[in-house]
Copies of this chain bind each other. A is one copy, B any other.
Amino acid sequence: MFDPASLCFDDKGLIPCIAQEEGTGAVLMMAWMNEAAVRKTLETRRVTYWSRSRAAFWVKGETSGHVQELVDFRVDCDRDCLLVIVRQTGPACHTNRKSCFYTAVREGAEVELARPVEG
């Protein structure tokens, strides 16, 4: 049995969670979960983070519609980081880009790899 309490949360009760898109393998974003968000994610299959700024559950896509359906839930060797494989509706990034990691550093300069999706 998997017990969410067996994860290693930091001194704020949080654990980082990486979201990766099923199929493409694209790394979409990283956000945080607390123990309750882990439970909600596993129960609802709708990826739910903990918003540090709002100090509230953040059901990804609840307002934007850009939801993440949980495909697989992974724990790392140290139990202090999570990886969720997701079916992403729309862009994952709040800038309307597919991934939050659209800025590369190349030869000392920042390069924008993707533009916001239209609409």
Chain B contacts of A94 at CB under 8 A?
77
Q: Which of the residues B18, B25, B101, B108 comes within 8 Å of A1, measured between beta carbons?
A: B108
Interface size on A, residues (CB 8 A): 36
* Number of copies of chain A assembled together: 2
Q: Cα distance A100–B73 when bound, in Å?
A: 13
Q: Cα distance A93–B70 when bound, in Å?
A: 24
User: Are B29 and A105 touching (Cβ within 8 A)?
Assistant: no
Chain B contacts of A26 at CB under 8 A?
25
Q: Is A106 an interface residue (CB 8 A)?
A: yes
Q: Is A110 an interface residue (CB 8 A)?
A: yes
Q: Which of the residues B25, B75, B103, B110 comes within 8 Å of A110, measured between beta carbons?
A: B75
